[in-house]
Amino acid sequence: MCGILAYTGKGNIRNIVKKGLKSLEYRGYDACGYAFAYDNNISIKKEVGKNKIESLTDSLPEYVEKNVYLLSHTRWATHGDNTEKNAHPHYDCKKNIFLVHNGIIENYNEIKNDLLASGHKFIGSTDTEAIPHILESIDYISTPEKIFEILQGSFACVFLDKKQPFKLFIFRRKSPLIVGKDKNTLFISSDMQTLSLFCNKFIEIKENIFYQLDTKNIYILPENKKIIYSFTISSFFNKKEIESEKENIFMKNEIWQQPETIKKNIPILQSLINEPASKLNKFIKKCKFPERIIIAGCGTSWHAGLIGKIYLERFSKIITQVEYASEFRYNNPVFNKNTWFFALSQSGETADTIGAMELAKLFNIPIIGIVNNPLSTIDKNSDFSFHLNVGTEIGVAATKSFTMQILILFMLSLFFAKDKKEEKKKFISAIYELPEKIKEVLNKEDELKQIVEEYFLSSSNAIFLGRGYNYPTALEGALKMKEISYIHAEGSSAAEMKHGPLALVDKNLPVVFIVGNKNDITYEKIISNMHEVKSRNGKILSIVNQREKKIDSLPSDKVLILPETIPELTPIINVVALQIISFYAGILKGCDVDKPRNLAKSVTVE
Ligand code: M6R
């Protein structure tokens, strides 16, 4: 999705903008552009297409003697074609105001018609273009509140005005915007990751407040009140990881980091849960024990929520409902007194999940964030946050964040489980074995690559099936496959096949059965489902979690044997194999696995 990098001060502007925009690439973009004021001359440039950051930024000067006021942008088209006219920065009729925007202006048509009627000229067809024209028609210095009265929707805006030299202006609603400080330079970005390349002190920009920046200070308009800095220091983001420019490296690295991400977090989670004085325990004391939990998320986070539901209902006996955040927020959901709300999100900036959380907040119930990015909107607005603590995830595909979401939900369900002491001990020792077992899966890289060659490369469709804990794993396997390799894949409960999808099966369709292990309650059931597919000549790959006699008699063309673990943890083991399969399907088909077409890492618009 769109990204903003702006700054005021000196320095090598070419390098700063190149580095900043490149770090925003992972969000997905179709066009990019900049505008900067130097000596009160404003220069502007835009480029359309992917991979245009180099040529855009090569046109910037390197070192400059005086201060520069600069804004730059990567655009992920939502309104209007991918053309230069629709790329940012956008400007007013007199070309005084140059503005970049993230978000969506919902009433832009109405605003545009009013502005056209009063003589304004528009050149493109985006929602953003309305904003510089509004700014042109109001006195935003003395009545900045007007802009918030006119605009509806979400917006993070940065702009320059020729008539107001040596300043940058910023304002936002819903979409994030953060200011960072380094010596005599202020940086502004929509993305913490980008800011952390340049500084490690940050300040939050509040909603519906109009700010003016020079090279050192931030003022609130109209009072011109100087903000006394209270910067938060964060070292969460790893500069080296963000700056790595090698192609197709992030997704693979992130899959391979999983033994480490799991290993380092087990003791952290354990002490959070066990220490009576831990933040979690202090928080719980203030709330009533949940009678019902609502989990909301999107995409992969939603899949993790589905697995969490089984844990929470099975071990904690808490009624749990899992919702697509996008649907939940518009369905007039019912909240009763002892309901808790879980917002599940890697980025912490997914617009729909934020929307669902805002709705839940109105009912005054405990809001729990399970997020990777500290200081993200969901993190800041939750009553209690679990941090995934897996480091930056840059590849568009969610990988290491998914396995950690599952682990957190599992451990949380054990925390809420009132008895089951012996069972809990068994679970904890299985959790400690996970990192080594994931390593065993990673060591199967060659076998997994071969499976891709045999099963997926010659097919444009695939089906992933599972039951119980591994039904959401099947959904996730299918999502990864279509997202990374563009092979059309469907995930389903194996039991649902005979209610329709079985009609698709023929000798050419790869059908992946995620069988699990023999202690799983659905083990025998899924084997019957395999027979149903085999009888229709389906091309079956089965994934099992232990070696046992029965494997030889499975109605399967190929059996992939993964390490054994307790049924509850099989999704973590199995999904790692599915991540590697989709990674190689993408690589062997020549896809950009880190930045799949049309997608964005952080979906900041509805
Ligand atoms: O940052 P979030 O977890 O809120 O993102 C939700 C989805 O957009 C995300 O999981 C998406 O489905 C992934 N790209 C899938 O790999």
Q: Which residue has the tokens 């010596």?
A: 183
Check if 372 has its Cβ closer than 6 Å to any atom of ligand 1: no
pLDDT at 233: 56
Q: What are the phi and psi torsion angles at 228 (to 5°)?
A: -85, 120
pLDDT band (50, 70, 90) for residue 280? confident
Check if 326 has its Cβ closer than 6 Å to any atom of ligand 1: no
pLDDT (tens digit per residue) in 493-504 = 999 998 998 999
Q: Assess whether pLDDT exceeds 90 at residue 595.
A: no
Give 396's DSSP letter.
Answer: S
> Could you say which of 181, 309, 482, 601 is catalytic?
601
CA of 194 to the centre of ligand 1 (A): 19
Say yes or no: domain 246-439 is CATH 3.30.420.10: no
- Which of 364-368, 419-423, 467-471 has the weakest average pLDDT? 419-423
pLDDT at 242: 58
Task: Centre a 10 Å sphere on the Cβ of residue 592 and count the other Cβ atoms it contains.
Answer: 16
Report DSSP letters for 319-341, one per residue.
EEEEEEHHHHTTS-----TTEEE
pLDDT at 150: 96
Burial of 187 (0-12, 13-18, 19+ CB in 10 A): buried
Query: What value does the CA radius of gyration of the chain take, rounded to a whole number of Å?
Result: 26
Task: List the chain domain ranges.
Answer: 3-243, 246-439, 444-592
Asked whether the beta carbons of 75 and 56 are under 8 A apart, the reply is no
Number of helices (H), then strands (E), in the chain: 20, 25
Q: Assess whether pLDDT exceeds 80 at residue 418.
A: no
Strand order in the sheet with 488-493: 488-493, 461-466, 510-516, 539-544, 558-561
Question: In Å, how far from its chain's centre is CA 460?
Answer: 27
Question: Residue with the nearest Cα to atom 12 of ligand 1?
Answer: 299
Question: Residue with the nearest Cα to atom 7 of ligand 1?
Answer: 299
Considering the chain, what percentage of its residues have pLDDT values greater than 70? 96
Instruction: With H, G, I as helix, E, B as strand and everything else as coil, classify residue 577.
Output: helix
pLDDT (tens digit per residue) in 515-528 = 988 888 888 899 99
Say yes or no: domain 3-243 is CATH 3.60.20.10: yes
Check if 186 has its Cβ closer than 6 Å to any atom of ligand 1: no
Give 118's DSSP letter.
Answer: T
Domains 3-243 and 444-592 share a fold: no
Instruction: With H, G, I as helix, E, B as strand and everything else as coil, classify residue 602.
Output: coil
Catalytic residue flag (residue 601): yes
CA angle 580, 581, 582 (to 5 degrees): 95
pLDDT (tens digit per residue) in 571-586 = 999 999 999 999 999 9
- Which of 90-104, 135-149, 539-553, 565-579 has the weakest average pLDDT? 539-553
Strands 63-75 and 3-12, by their bridges, are antiparallel
Q: Summarize the confidence of residues 198-209 as an average pLDDT.
A: 86
Considering the chain, what percentage of its residues have pLDDT values greater than 90? 65
Number of residues that this document lists for the chain? 606
pLDDT band (50, 70, 90) for residue 434? very high
Q: Summarize the confidence of residues 445-454 as an average pLDDT.
A: 96
Encoded tokens for 456: 């997926």
C-alpha dihedral sign at 549, 552, 554, 557: positive
pLDDT at 228: 66
Record the pTM: 0.81
Check if 483 has its Cβ closer than 6 Å to any atom of ligand 1: yes
pLDDT band (50, 70, 90) for residue 218? very high
Check if 301 has its Cβ closer than 6 Å to any atom of ligand 1: yes
Q: Assess whether pLDDT exceeds 60 at residue 99.
A: yes
Encoded tokens for 286: 């203030």
Asked whether the beta carbons of 424 and 417 are under 8 A apart, the reply is yes
Higher pLDDT, 529 or 422: 529
Encoded tokens for 110: 């109405």
Q: Assess whether pLDDT exceeds 80 at residue 1.
A: no
- The mean of the pLDDT values for the chain is 90
pLDDT at 234: 58
CA of 248 to the centre of ligand 1 (A): 18
Looking at ligand 1, which atom is closest to the CA of residue 298? 6
Strands, DSSP E only, in 49-197?
Answer: 63-75, 90-91, 97-105, 153-161, 168-173, 178-182, 185-189
Q: Summarize the confidence of residues 476-498 as an average pLDDT.
A: 96
Q: Assess whether pLDDT exceeds 70 at residue 232.
A: no
Say yes or no: domain 444-592 is CATH 3.40.50.10490: yes
pLDDT band (50, 70, 90) for residue 49? confident
pLDDT (tens digit per residue) in 292-335 = 999 999 999 999 999 999 999 999 999 999 999 999 989 888 88
Check if 189 has its Cβ closer than 6 Å to any atom of ligand 1: no
Count of alpha carbons within 13 angstroms of residue 83, beta-carbon side: 9
Letter for the amino acid at 523? Y
What is the distance between the alpha carbons of residues 151 and 147, in angstroms, rounded to a whole number?
6
Q: Which residue has the tokens 């400007």?
A: 91
- Which of 130-139, 176-185, 347-356, 378-387 has the weakest average pLDDT? 176-185
Q: Summarize the confidence of residues 12-40 as an average pLDDT.
A: 88
